[in-house]
Structure 1
Amino acid sequence: MPTHITLTTRKQLDIYMNPQRQRLLKVMDIHAAPMTSKQLSDQLGISASAVSYHLKKLAELGIIGLDHTESIHGIQAKYYKRLPVVINLGNDKNDDLKAERALLSDYFMNEIWNGFKENMEQVKDRSNLMETGDTMNGILYLTEEEAKQMKKFIMEFYADHMEPAPNTVPWETAVIAFPHKSS
């Protein structure tokens, strides 16, 4: 199974860009346990058949998969899980999907920023990193090799931490790094 997927086609981006699918993925990430269409439906406030449709589309990309089935009151319930893959939007590509990638990136950054602000409003102890999180920004001076190492480190770190483990909590993250072009 790949540890990362780069979205390179319009079909892939169309599947991934769907707002309901993004909400579905976030619920799966936060719950960090296999869920049925019914459970997801209850969380999202949409029909189980709509959830099943969205799950099928996400499975096409290799982002979710069937974990197991259980017999519940004589009905076979399918439990789906989020697969541990990093999604690369392909922003490094200069193709006819550039505008869609930029729109999706804007959406993600806005969602994460709004989630961070909402979290900060609810925090009781701002000195506790496990309650607040943080933002960081600045300029790093990197050689081309160091930039490659940084990207590799980030990709490996994401891949190593995409599944829940004992004593862990889900952290929503966004990483933006690019070479500054002096004017």
Structure 2
Amino acid sequence: MTDSPITDPKALRALSHPFRWKLLQVLTEQGPHTATQCSEKLGESVASCSYHLNMLAKYGFVEEVEGAGRQKPWRIVRGRQSISSEGLEGEAALAAEAAAMAYLDQEFERTRERLRRHEHLPEEWRRTVGTQGTVKFLTAEEAVEYHAEVQALLEKYDDRRLDESLRPEGARAVRYFLAVTVAPE
């Protein structure tokens, strides 16, 4: 279920703004929200939220949903944003790097904030939260195979991300973040 990497420099630049990752997070984890609701959750002005949501919509990351009233909620269109500078050159490669760095900054900020709140979670959730690091000594081929196995595991329950009706009672957004790096020779 892996989405193909985003290669359009303009779409990548749209993702290089850190606040847009926060909006994507809210819509992914909490479902459709209006600009006003996003403003309340993120402490940013309604005008700013509306502007950034419109920029995300321009490049197909979110869309407005039909709803009651004048304000329409926004929802996620793409379940996953895949960013890689591989095969890109010039402006596109720079835009991919900027988008990836904005994503990482947001991801680390989110992780730090959630780890700070660890002791306030109910006991059954506290046991699932934490960080872990490991080093494996692998060949390039083994690393590709290992990555595919982990990716398959991470894709389990993906259908629940965009379809709330598939979520069992008591389900909460649980974030898994995986970073794979290779030591220099």
The residue that corresponds to 1:135 in the other structure is: 132
Change (3 A) 1:108 1:173: farther
Identity percentage of aligned residues: 18
Q: Structure 2: 5+ residue runs without aligned partners? A: none
Change (3 A) 1:174 1:81: same
Q: Following the alignment from structure 2 to structure 1, what is the Cα–Cα distance between the partners of residues 156 and 87?
A: 23
Tell me whether 21-30 or 148-157 shows the greater mean CA deviation: 148-157
Structure 2 counterpart of 1:23, one-letter code: K
Please provide the CA RMSD for this pair. Answer: 3.3
- State the distance in 1 between where 2:174 and 2:104 align: 14
User: 1:102 is matched with which residue?
Assistant: 97
Count of residue pairs the alignment pairs up: 175
- Whether the 8 Å contact between 1:69 and 1:78 is mirrored in structure 2 is yes
1:95-174 to structure 2, matched below 5 A, reads 95-96=89-90, 97-124=92-119, 128-130=126-128, 132-139=129-136, 141=138, 142-143=141-142, 146=145, 149-150=148-149, 153=152, 156-157=155-156, 159-163=158-162, 164=164, 165-166=167-168, 167-174=170-177
Counterpart in the other structure of 2:43: 45
Deviations 1:101-159 (A, max 9, x none): 334333333432343333333322699333x2332332163547725733752674474
Name the CA distance, whole Å, in 1 between partners of 2:104 and 2:73: 30
- TM-superposed CA distance for 1:86, in Å, is 1.0
Taking the aligned partners of 2:116 and 2:146, their CA distance within structure 1 comes to 35
Identify the range of structure 1 (36-45 vs 109-118) with the bigger mean alpha-carbon deviation.
109-118
Alpha-carbon distance in structure 2 between the residues aligned to 1:47 and 1:154: 38
Equivalent residue runs for 1:1-12 within 5 Å = 4-12=3-11
**CA offsets per residue over residues 43-69 of structure 1, 9 Å max, x none?**
333443332332222123322122222
Instruction: Check 1:17–1:62 CA distance in 2 against 1; reply closer, same or farther (3 A cut).
Output: same
**TM-score with structure 1 length normalisation?**
0.73
- Given that 1:27 and 1:40 are in contact with CA atoms closer than 8 Å, whether structure 2 keeps it comes out as yes
Q: Is 1:40–1:51's contact at 8 Å kept on the other side of the alignment?
A: yes
Selected match of 1:35 from 33, 36, 39: 33
**SS of equivalent residue, structure 2 residue 68:** strand
Structure 1 unaligned residues grouped into runs of 5+:
none
Given the two structures, how large is their TM-score scaled by the length of structure 2?
A: 0.72
SS of structure 2 residue aligned to 1:77? coil
